[in-house]
Amino acid sequence: MTIGVASAAPAYSLAAVLAVLAGAVGVHAPAAILLAFIPMVCIAAAYSAFDRVAPDAGSVFAWLWLAIGPRTGWITGWALIVANVVVMGSLGTIAGRYTFLLLGWGAATHSLLAVTLAGSAWIGAVTVICYLGIRASARTQRALLGLELSALVGFSIVALIRVWVGDAGTHAVAPSLAWFSPVVGSHGQLAVGVLAALFIFWGWDTTATVAEETRDAARTSGRAALLSTVVLLAVFVLVVTAAQAFNGPSELAAHPADALSALAANVLGGTVGKVVVLSVLTSSIASAQTSVLPAARTAMAMARAGAAPHALGRVHALHRTPHLATLAVGVAGVLLFACLSVVSKAVLSDSIGALGLVIAFYYGITGLACTLHFRHQLHRSARDLLTLGVIPLIGAGGLSWVFIRTAIDLGHPASSASHTAVLGIGLPLVLAAGFLIVGLALLALTAWRSPSFPRSSSSPRAPTPAQR
């Protein structure tokens, strides 16, 4: 569960989304988070169902292989790997910048070279930890997440107490149950708020990729996925409620770059407020580590099934980790981060925007695959019909709406942080299409090099000759 919650990077996610939520739905930000939670917990239920019958390091790659077919499994595994490698660029930027903010080195926070070097160093460090084994990774996550959640909860309690005693300033707003009502100015505003809230939940599914390394994998991993979404909901609602109560939604919206660190200084004071800055730093580091974990294990599972180079499927004799896949993912993350930073910070932002489509795709199709895979069990009981059929389909339907809505939004040139359009289409949508095209090309190459792969009826867990 620690790995699942840390993967979503609560402090980093809140720092990025507070202003967006406030600008879109005002005081109804908690309602937007609650609405975003519904498809997330439905997809977590689908993950739990799959984990009970097929705990696999490949997670969506293996499950989609079984439910629909090898090609669909391959593309879904590719989507997961791309999402986790690309997001390292944003996490590296935040880790580098907040390192210097914590040290009080203001000039370095504006230096592209300094931020890139520091961020790359952090990605390298967490890659080494992942290389050393799952126990080292779990211990690191507990320490980082413990500090992060302590800072966020402490910040929220102090903010709410100061609002309660009337010491929060002129922009304070008394908390109200009306904040949890989804009735806002327009459906368009609500959609923007829900979309922003939805993707801050992303990451809990890392629990599934470490299932093979977990005791009682058939139950533990699925339960951790469900619990992770619930813990994230509680943290997000608490912090958002406290933040807008202390400063009001209009003031939050006025700090689009990072509303959390600016607010922390007002709530806790300059010195103590740095604890929240530290929590954002640890959040980005923890999330970078839990981006390496699922991508490396998915690559290992794909190699084990003959759907990727065999070397990526090797497991270190001492550390019991997919060491070559881990190093490959870490190096890919650093190189992509460095290249996008050199090209433009705006292009880096556009690449992160494109991930919305990638995430909505692989979450949504997993919900659909769950119902397809267990379709012959739906008549057995009302519980099976609900948990294996209805709930996953609700998640798939919600994510399908998100996919379509996000594609429309990203298609507008105005959605591009770099103000770049290709044939009149916004760069984020072009990048998302590019990820898919590259994946299809690699799938064709895989099928050409391993003609038996797309037609194989064996389980994706079957070891390749190189691993026997």
Q: Is residue 149 part of a domain?
A: yes
What is the chain's length?
468
- Cα of first residue to Cα of last residue in the chain, in angstroms, is 32
The two structure tokens encoding residue 25: 């739905």
Q: Is residue 451 part of a domain?
A: no
Percentage of the chain exceeding pLDDT 90 = 49
Report the pLDDT value the prediction gives residue 361, as an integer from 0 to 100: 93
Question: Is there a domain that residue 19 lies in?
Answer: yes
Q: How far apart are CA 288 and CA 142, in angstroms?
A: 14
Q: Domain for residue 318, yes or no?
A: yes
Tens-place pLDDT, residues 88-133: 988 898 899 889 988 888 888 889 899 999 999 999 999 999 999 8
Residue 468's pLDDT is 34
What is the number of domains present in the chain?
A: 1
Q: Which of 329, 344, 296 is nearest to 116 (CA)?
A: 344
Q: How far, CA to CA in Å, does 61 sit from each of 69, 288, 308, 312, 460? A: 10, 21, 12, 15, 8
pLDDT score of 456 more than 60:
no
Query: Which alpha helices (H) appear in 305-344, and where do they start and end?
Result: 323-343
CB 266 within 8 A of CB 184: no
Does 297 reside within a domain?
yes
**In which domain, by residue range, is 153 found?**
2-343
pLDDT digits (tens, 9 = 90+) for 246-257: 988 888 887 766
CA dist., res. 415 & res. 350, Å (int): 8
Q: Map residue 468 onto helix, strand or coil.
A: coil
Residue 17, domain member (yes or no):
yes
Contact of 251 with 79, CB cutoff 8 Å: no
Task: Tell me, yes or no, whether 299 lies in a domain.
Answer: yes
Domain membership of residue 301 (yes or no) is yes
Residue 346 contacts residue 418 (beta carbons within 8 Å): yes
The per-residue pLDDT for range 185-235, each reduced to its tens digit, is 666 677 778 888 888 899 999 999 999 888 888 889 999 999 999 999 999
Q: What's the pLDDT at 450?
A: 77
Residue 188's domain is classified under what CATH number?
Answer: 1.20.1740.10
Calpha distance 436→439 (Å, rounded): 5
